[in-house]
A and B are shown apart, each in its own frame.
Chain A
């Protein structure tokens, strides 16, 4: 009886094993399909791996150590990773940096394709751990550790742009913009063993005008590598460019920033060397190169979250197109827009009219008044389509065509302008243009020579150089008044202050008609009185008249009205 029961139990166990093996086989059968298409595509898992490009060979290198560790955890990889992650946090808290670094390596070997691990811990090393050190050389060492970690990550994830992008960001910003950037840049340029570790990029292209490797140029190459991976069509949800995926991922960055990064790195390089070496042909060349790259970026078709691409350089063209179409519409309907507005004005309720005509500051409006103001604003905004629709039948078809074209151009110009604003496109374009001119190089050179003369105890010489510099700077600010309220002008203020000190030394008065006195004056048109109501005239000709532009809240109403004016 006992023997029989034991036998039956064995049979049941055997049957259960076979029953479980069958679905396992269906799921896990490896693919045997050759390039010619013969063989089996494998089980469900193999097919999914192929569909999503998730097999290790496709993701990056196959590391025996990593594979061994994965196998050795016997399916408890997640558990082991969690444990190591906790340990890494404890090591960080206890300032056991070497153990932290070793533990991170183990985590990375267990989860080599988990991008967030590489990103998070590289940031941890380069930004958090490095800041714990007092000696800037140690800090640099740990910044490099983070970079090393990322570079190792790229070997396992060659088709993922994020790690390449992070390499560009860390190399550019952490080394080039931190408080220790002067020291870091120097250490980086002399760190040849570290340069030798940088796979994928051609270091001969990262040398600055002095022949040394420059961190910004290296960053530029990493960004290009990242863009190159994106351009291969790797399916990514990382960039905010796919409206279908909107909201599905929680970590997205604007595609326009992503595509601007390579040229911004060149601008960073030009800015850095302008401060480090005597301005002249070499610095002008760096700005020229940055300007060309920026122009190239402006001509790129950048994917957007609106479902179409934008080209930043086409903004003026779009605005001209909008104006041309609106002018044609106006030819068909002279004075009609004003008539419509007057009609609508007459139809406003007394409360709406009162709040519209009472030029109260926006911040003083009560909620009811604000609602009335919005309604009045919305009604008094006469769109091109409104004008076209009000025309007689024989003109309406043509008018609608012009109105549609103007509206489309306006919409696209708005999007383009918004994207250009994200990267401050016009400013950097102007800046590159200004900085590559001889006048600016001379202005900077004279300022530098003047500072040196002042430091060297030669006030006479300093005064001469300063005055030569002011002559050059005046030319620049007259040609580009928008730069008066800019970092360029801001950077000049210490020099003006030193000039005053030099004059003091020479017992001379600061000139009343100082050539750069505009630096002390508030720029024209800047900072209008707070909460100023938009003048009624600016509503005369509206562009697209989209709902959002009518102002979603009190703060946006003047800006929206301003946009409407610029649409003219």
Chain B
């Protein structure tokens, strides 16, 4: 999984810069909105009347509607909305959801190497898309259908303010979808749990019992294979006491124990470790080049994906992570647990049966007492999480290479909570690929269930914004147009990065007009458009496309970033704990978006001439 460094930022660090942006953006947006409204109004009524109209609306909003807003009336509208929603499409959506899960097993690869990831991705993505579609269809239809059926006359003739209608509608839909999400969360959890569950027996023919050590009096250990179930099998080892564990296959292990009643048979436990929430602690990454000089990054070995940077083996090239805030609590059972997910790049085959070797060196950042421990060797394990347990008692290495007396990792190497971990590749001609998230300290796992709920909270944030958008659009356009507008905004929110890449030329295919031409001509994405169209026509197309893409790109900066909101799904699917600070940041961003969109919706509804 690609982990983005900006996601490591703590809420407290983020809040300051976010508040600054907020303080500048809100008055600027309000001012811009007022100017736009005035210009539109002036075009219709003339400059003077427009001024009074705009001022009147603002004064009414601040002077009348805001102070006189009634929670009772909002709740009444919300209750009405809930009733409407239940009457309409809600049950259908829920049925679709249940049916999707009933038949999901057909489409999920039962031979996957990481079924937990597949199941979690499926349930979270399905829920996300389904609920967004439901939110759009419910929210965009409500006010237009009220207007069409003339029910709105009954409402607006009552002493209900526009703000109360908009807020009530949003609250009602949010409540309904929240209840639905809770039900979906429970069903999804059961589905994933059920999908992971399987049993193995021990294949008794495969068991090899080690001979009993002379004079030990204890029985020998044993090893063997389990039966092949759910398209996989495990090998296991049991110690002389009769307790053991299987190897990790498809992301999980099983506990194995010798049956007390019948010592020749074994009991295999439930799968463990498939559903977890690992809590990595990330450090800052810097590099040294092959001569040992500081470098911005490692070597590019020619991979298209530049997430990782590579360090050369048997040279001074080093990746150095600096960790902060290390306390004795980070040590478990006297060890400092480290997790690594390194990439490996071989320039020659080397010894096929041996993995590429590397060393980890723990280094103090104390300038007065520079100290490094003896290199700790390991063999790489690509595309899986490799765990190293660094013992607290280590031997230091002097500049002359001689080892000194034993030192304590925390007392002697950790300085003001900071520690450096150096990584080097030990095989000549081979490379390790590293990114910031590829070496981390491991805190105890968080609760998987809470992590799962966090993913649903993240979905809930998205739905809340979609509902607000839908209701807001429906205050001034009819239902189909509101649906289109909402979908466009959501798509731009999801694919903002892609739009940006299209504009800068990083992605192929061109803007909307060029894409349409290519589709009609069945051209591929990389063929130059000039070939048949002619230079002038292509210039016009490119100019128009550039203008359109610039507008779209600018919009992506204003619209909520749905792809970031959906990151929780990836974290949970890859068994990483979703940062609480990231969730807190998202909740605050969602709140700001919701408030902003509601204000826009209120003004639109207020200025709409419904009775006309």
Contacts and interface: CB of A to CB of B under 8 A. Distances in A.
Interface string B348-370: 01001101100000000000000
B7 interface: no
B503 interface: no
B107 A93 contact: no
Contacts of A102: 108-109, 112, 118
Interface string A89-104: 0000111111101100
Contacts of A65: 106-107
B106 A136 contact: no
B344 A134 contact: yes
A133 B118 contact: no
A135 B355 contact: yes
B324 interface: no
A133 B2 contact: no
A445 interface: no
B70 interface: no
Contact of B382 (A93, A109, A134, A180): A134
Given A93-B305, A98-B114, A134-B346, A105 B109 contact: yes
Interface in B216-233: 228, 233
A101 B112 contact: yes
A183 interface: yes
Contacts of B2: 94
B354 to A, nearest CB: 10
B305 A109 contact: no
- Most B CB contacts (10 A, CB to CB) among A101, A135, A148 go to A135
Given A94-B305, A98-B117, A102-B118, A193 B383 contact: no
A94 B307 contact: yes
A95 B344 contact: no
B523 interface: no
B41 interface: no
Contacts of A148: 111
B233 A134 contact: no
A-side interface size class: 20 to 34
B178 interface: no
B118 A98 contact: yes
B103 A93 contact: no
Interface string B294-316: 00000000001101000000000
Interface string A293-314: 0000000000000000000000
A152 to B, nearest CB: 10
B383 A138 contact: yes
B113 interface: yes
Interface string B146-173: 0000000000000000000000000000
Nearest to A103: B109
B381 interface: yes
Given A94-B307, A97-B383, A133-B382, A69 B344 contact: no
Nearest to A141: B113
Contacts of A335: none
A101 B236 CA distance: 28
Interface in A120-137: 133-136
A183 B106 contact: no
Contacts of A507: none
Contacts of A69: 107
Contacts of A183: 352-353
A133 to B, nearest CB: 6
* Chain A contact residues, majority secondary structure: helix
Contacts of B304: 93
B106 A180 contact: no
Contacts of B382: 133-135, 138
B114 A68 contact: no
Contact of B352 (A64, A98, A109, A179): A179
Residue from B113, B307, B349 having most chain A Cβ neighbours under 10 A: B113
Interface string B328-355: 0000000000000001101001001101
Interface in A161-189: 179-180, 183
Contacts of B111: 148
A98 B113 contact: yes
A378 interface: no
Given A102-B112, A133-B383, A138-B382, A193 B228 contact: yes
A109 B103 CA distance: 15
Interface centre among A69, A138, A148, by most chain B C-beta atoms within 10 angstroms, is: A138
A135 B117 CA distance: 22
A300 B403 CA distance: 74
Contacts of B356: 134
B380 interface: yes
Contacts of A101: 109, 112-113
A254 interface: no
B319 to A, nearest CB: 17
B507 to A, nearest CB: 11
A106 interface: yes
B572 to A, nearest CB: 15
B423 to A, nearest CB: 16
B117 A179 contact: no
Contacts of B380: 134
A105 B117 CA distance: 16
B190 to A, nearest CB: 22
Interface in B97-138: 103, 106-109, 111-114, 117-118, 121
Contacts of A68: 103, 106
Interface string A474-517: 00000000000000000000000000000000000000000000
A98 B575 CA distance: 14
Contacts of A96: 1
Given A98-B118, A109-B107, A136 B353 contact: yes
A148 B113 CA distance: 13
A183 B354 CA distance: 12
A141 B231 CA distance: 13
A65 B1 CA distance: 29
A134 B347 CA distance: 11
Nearest to A109: B107
A485 to B, nearest CB: 28
Contacts of B114: 98
Nearest to A104: B109
A180 B352 contact: yes
A96 B307 CA distance: 12
A69 B355 CA distance: 42
Contacts of B117: 98
Given A95-B305, A98-B114, A135 B109 contact: no
A135 B386 CA distance: 14
Interface in B561-581: none
A287 to B, nearest CB: 28
A163 to B, nearest CB: 18
A179 B107 contact: no
A10 to B, nearest CB: 21
B381 A135 contact: yes
Q: What are the 8 tightest A-B residue pairs by CB atom distance, in nearest-first order? A: A65-B106, A134-B344, A134-B382, A98-B114, A93-B304, A93-B305, A105-B109, A193-B228
Given A97-B383, A102-B108, A179-B349, 9 more contacts: A95-B383, A101-B113, A105-B109, A106-B107, A109-B107, A136-B353, A138-B383, A183-B352, A193-B228
6 contacts: A94-B307, A95-B343, A99-B121, A106-B107, A133-B382, A183-B352
